[in-house]
Structure 1
Amino acid sequence: MKRLCHALAPLVLMAASPALALGADDTAELYQTHCASCHGEARLGGIGPALLPGNLSRLKPDAAVDVIANSRPASQMPAFGETLDEGDIEALARWLYRPPETEPRWGEAEIGESHRVFHPDGSLPDTPLFDADPLNLFIVVETGDHHASLLDGDSFERIHRFETRYALHGGPKYTPDGRYVFFGSRDGWITKYDLYNLEVVAEVRAGINMRNIAVSADGRYVMAANYLPHSLALFDAHNLDLMKVYPVENAAGESSRVSAVYAAPPRGSFIAALKDIKEVWEIPWPLPTEPVVSTGHMKTPLAPSRDPSRESFKVRRIAVPDYLDDFFFDPGYEHVIGASRGGQGGMVVNLDSGEKVADLPLEGMPHLGSGITWKQGGRRVMALPHLSRAEVSIIDMESWERIKTLETDGPGFFMRSHENSPYAWVDVFFGPNRDRVHVIDKQSLEIVETLTPEPGKTAAHVEFDRDGKKLLLSIWEDDGAVIVYDGDSLEELRRIPMSKPSGKYNVWNKTRYEEGTSH
């Protein structure tokens, strides 16, 4: 039977309505049958987001029934218009608006009670259990059976496979030396894993419904972005001890879900995207006494030369003209390029002045979180797919003008490249041609190859090795695989069977902020 799952978007449901055709008990049973497996038995979220009145906003009331009946663009939620009758759908929508009998709470006390330390920082050996290059490792997240695989980025042999929390989300984050990786799950868990010793070090539940985590460039702090409760949570990275919880609200007391949090290395700060209030938040971490890293794509030191008198961990509020819940940054983190998932464009905001400096004509739900940059001739460009339009937009990062629109075989989800590669890769994740992937020449700005790695099966999410010479591509199915390609010849080199490998994350690319990957 179909189930409501994955991406039932936040809904504002109708409070005033005629009598329900179904009783509350019948509607609750509908929810348990069709929704609970993805959104949680208590509506607290799982693979899909939480479905509670305090967590549901920014859609008009009449959108609720339509989303359930017809799904939502660029999501994996099925349409239920042919599975449930109109009365059932309306009753279910109205029932979701009712507050739970017990208001869910997840504050400092609950976070503290969830905290577990299995191997205190410094208690495990400092020598890896394997011979592979620690900075050229890949983590592959396998969502089919909730595991992760650790791959040698030179031989592509599997070093280890281990169980993870349910529904990892937002991509794992590494410490600069590549020893530790932090995972975040949709139901709020942060797990610190020691890659040298292949052991879980510590865990803590930061929220009920969490979007992602970010790790400071020096590896000392972890911040979690929550949909529920509306908060940011800050942790000491060593053992995941809670440092502070930030309720996210504006001066008027209006609260907001947090769409995502990012580390901005040149600024020495975390930057948060807020879904329900027109602000961007910047929270600086304490400056280290020496630079951490100054190699790779990041041309400025990861220990920024900012005013040392700034107040660490204090929120700087940047007012913006519209909701910005999807972000991209220029390489120096001087500007944030933001858009609203429900809007019809984007804008560029200077993070130092807080001023909007440009508008971007980006219709079709641009997926800024998958944007990449490269040098094309003498200029730097950014490129990004769209979640509801079959195209890739290419923007000049000096004039902020769109210089080209590439037509693709369907709306895309992920776009990836590498500084040393002549090509950018983009999938067409949404739509009937999801088994294809386009290869774009970064100088001519033309699609030069369209591959179909396995007909009928979703091809998505590329990640290069540290040198940009080979890459991994997912067959995004339960009986899927990771395919290794030569980055220049585009020849397939080998396949590694995996269970719905949703993402691959190379240590070097992520810790050196390589221009062709997400951050």
Structure 2
Amino acid sequence: MKRVVSLRMARQALAAATLLVLCVTGAAAGANDTETLYQARCASCHGEERLGGLGPALLPGNLSRLTPAAAEAVIRDGRAASQMPAFGETLDDEAIASLAEWIYRAPEVEPTWTKADILESQVVPHPDGSLPDAPVFDADPLNLFLVVETGDHHASLLDGDTFARLHRFETRYALHGGPKYTPDGRYVFFGSRDGWITKVDLYNLEVVAEVRAGINMRNIAVSADGRYVMAANYLPHSLVLFDAHNLDLMKVYPVASAAGESSRVSAVYAAPPRGSFIAALKDIEEVWEIPWPLPTEPVVATGHMATPLAPQRGHDTPSFRVRRIPVPGYLDDFFFDLDYRHVIGASRDGQGGMVVDLDSGEKVADLPLAGMPHLGSGITWEHEGRRVMAIPHLGKAAVSIIDMQDWTLVKTLETDGPGFFMRSHAGSPYAWVDVFFGPSRDRVHVIDKASLEIVETLIPEPGKTAAHVEFDRYGEKALLSLWEDDGAVIVYDAHSLEEEQRIPMSKPSGKYNVWNKTRYEEGTSH
């Protein structure tokens, strides 16, 4: 009988044979040899074209959080609590360095991710919806915290009253943009850098749907009624809409200007009062708004019960149709006022910002925000009868405080270094900001929201990075990350600022309280 050998089998056989020759002869690895090593040792998990599989995609845009030196360490030593093996015993230092260098090279042909690829990637473990409707734990479902642990790619579920760890589960590589909850807190959606959207039933602690929206994804947003999920992609240049029930594909939006100029999508946000998604674009001078159906509109059946809001739109754009809003500049980082009428956008060069009225589409103000403002981490509160917004800067040791009525600069607070995250709560007199970048990254400033002064600087552990505060639903406790591989979540009394306990974690990055995120609590970034 004649044997038919597939091209993939032939490539794998050739790779294995070449690898054997290299290992026996000790020959130095050239570019072709490096690719052969990759096909033999890496492709089965990371994909023949480096698009990912069991392991993450290994493309330059997907590896932005990993330095080449760290990549060499992972290849040599493996990664704890994952399926990544150690190759230090079978590959010499030169081969490891060559592999690490090669995965940071852009592919000769830009990879694609089509509708067919999206559909083929979808997995629904429980299509019959047979999981119980009651939580398997005894805790307030609206006061839970999810902690993303980037050190070993896990997430921990904490009881927000006792801070007991209810569950710890493995996640996709490099989650990005923060998890998003349905209004009742039962389901949470994670987005990974390499395009995977994972839906988890928190009541039953199980994955219930998963799909890959793209190759390099920035973030996801969930409509306020929990019925739709939108993904923002760098690669391909697209927005992708899903039915939230089983993550069924609804529509792919290629992102381009009217003249055909393609653009990466920096981020997508849900705007509950408007009943729409708002997209920030990296390469064209536009903001996109895509409305979801109002409660009275016919919708695609989703197979689950939702609790729709009643948004008040300032326009009549039909559901799921793109409304293009021209803006005088490239805006790829956003902040919104409370009713989502105004979007505050940072310019690409980090030297300023502007305010755009989403109803009229007009720019209404310029903002003096030099120093790369991190608008996505801004917060607001009432100060002397007027609402102010406060924003840390990625390139400047300062917090800018802006009056949101006339868009003037109220105050600039000098800090001990550039900051990344800022948080508060309606029930707290304080706002917290880290100084994530620079030599003082072990410090966190506490700002009195009445006096607009720094009243305390905490140093949880000298020399170790402290970042990202999140409050419980009542504003009584503040959780801070010790952002290290052998790190911890530190629980503080939000009023006395006294430390109460530490929960060991593996580089806990973000912490997300269900109540704050689903009720858009004042002081939580949206």
Give the TM interval when normalised to the shorter protein. 0.7 to 0.9
Alignment of 1:270-419 (within 5 A): 270-289=277-296, 302-306=309-313, 310-419=317-426
Structure-2 separation of matches of 1:431 and 1:388? 10
SS state of the match for residue 234, structure 1? strand
Task: Classify 1:422/1:388 alpha carbon distance in 2 versus 1 (closer, same or farther; 3 Å).
Answer: same
Residues 307 and 359 of structure 1: CA distance in aligned 2, closer, same or farther (over 3 Å) = closer
Equivalent residue number for residue 226 of structure 2:
219
The aligned counterpart of 1:152 is 159
In the alignment, the residues of structure 2 paired with residue 496 and residue 487 of structure 1 have an alpha-carbon distance, to the nearest angstrom, of 17
Deviation at residue 378 of structure 1 after TM alignment: 0.6
2:80 corresponding residue in structure 1: none
CA distance in 1, matches of 2:432, 2:445: 6
Give deviations 1:41-78, integer Å, cap 9, x for gaps: 956599899447xx9xxxxxxxxxxxx9xxx9xx8858
Query: 2:129 corresponds to which residue?
Result: 122
Q: Is the 8 A contact 1:410 1:434 kept in 2?
A: yes
Q: Are 1:498 and 2:500 an aligned pair?
A: no
Check conservation: 1:231, 1:248, Cα contact below 8 A: yes
RMSD: 2.9
Name the residue aligned to 2:301.
none
> Cα deviation per residue 1:199-225 (whole Å; 9 max; x = unaligned)?
100000000000000000000000000
Aligned partners of 1:233 and 1:245 also within 8 Å: yes
Question: Kindly tell me: are residues 429 and 492 of structure 1, through their superposed partners in 2, closer, same or farther at Cα, counting changes over 3 Å?
Answer: same
Q: Is the 8 A contact 1:391 1:405 kept in 2?
A: yes
Please say if residues 50 and 228 of structure 1, whose CA atoms lie closer than 8 Å, have aligned partners that are also in contact: no
Structure 2 residue matching 1:510: 3-state secondary structure: helix
Q: Provide, for residues 353-380 of structure 1, a one-character-per-residue CA deviation record: whole Å limited to 9, x for no partner.
A: 0000000011111000000000011110
**How far apart in 1 are the matches of 2:382 and 2:173?**
39
Instruction: Give the counterpart of 2:189 among 162, 179, 182.
Output: 182
CA distance in 2, matches of 1:192, 1:160: 16
- Aligned-partner SS, 2:135: coil
- Corresponding position: 1:99 with 2:108: yes
Taking structure 1 as the reference length, the TM-score comes to: 0.82
Structure 1 CA distance, aligned partners of 2:334 and 2:349? 14
2:171 is aligned with 1:164: yes
Q: Tell me which of 237, 246, 261 is aligned to 1:230.
A: 237
Unpaired runs of 5+ residues, structure 2, are: 1-28, 71-96, 298-307
**What secondary structure is seen at the aligned counterpart in 2 of 1:187?**
coil
Q: CA deviation at 1:431?
A: 0.5
Code of the residue aligned with 1:492 in structure 2: it is E
One-letter code of the match for 2:489? V
**Higher alpha-carbon Rg:** 2
- Judged with a 3 Å threshold, the aligned counterparts in structure 2 of structure 1 residues 117 and 44 are, in CA distance, closer, same or farther, namely closer
Q: Is the 8 A contact 2:350 2:373 kept in 1?
A: no
Instruction: Name the CA shift for 1:394/1:461 in 2 (closer, same or farther; >3 Å).
Output: same
Q: Hey, what does 1:515 align to over in structure 2?
A: 522
Using a 3 Å threshold, how does the CA distance of structure 1 residues 28 and 349 change in structure 2: closer, same or farther? farther
* Number of the residue aligned with 1:457: 464
Change (3 A) 1:256 1:24: same
Gap regions ≥5 residues in structure 1: 1-21, 56-67, 81-87, 291-300
What do the CA deviations read for 1:295-327 (whole angstroms, capped 9, x no partner)? xxxxxx942134896410000000000000000
Q: Aligned partner of 1:473: which letter?
A: L
Report the identity percentage: 81
Residue by residue, what CA displacement relative to the aligned partner does 1:84-107 show, whole Å, maximum 9, x if unpaired?
xxxx9xxx89x946733xx41111
CA contact (8 A) 2:231 2:239 kept: yes
Is it true that 1:193 corresponds to 2:200 in the alignment? yes
Q: 1:412/1:42 Cα in 2 relative to 1: closer, same or farther (>3 Å)?
A: farther
Partners of 1:308 and 1:453 lie apart in 2 by 48
Offset, 1:328? 0.3
Cα 1:310–1:388 change in 2 (3 A) is closer
CA contact (8 A) 2:59 2:106 kept: no
Larger RCO, structure (CA 8 Å, separation 6 or more): 1
Q: CA deviation at 1:471?
A: 1.2
The secondary structure found in structure 2 opposite 1:113 is helix
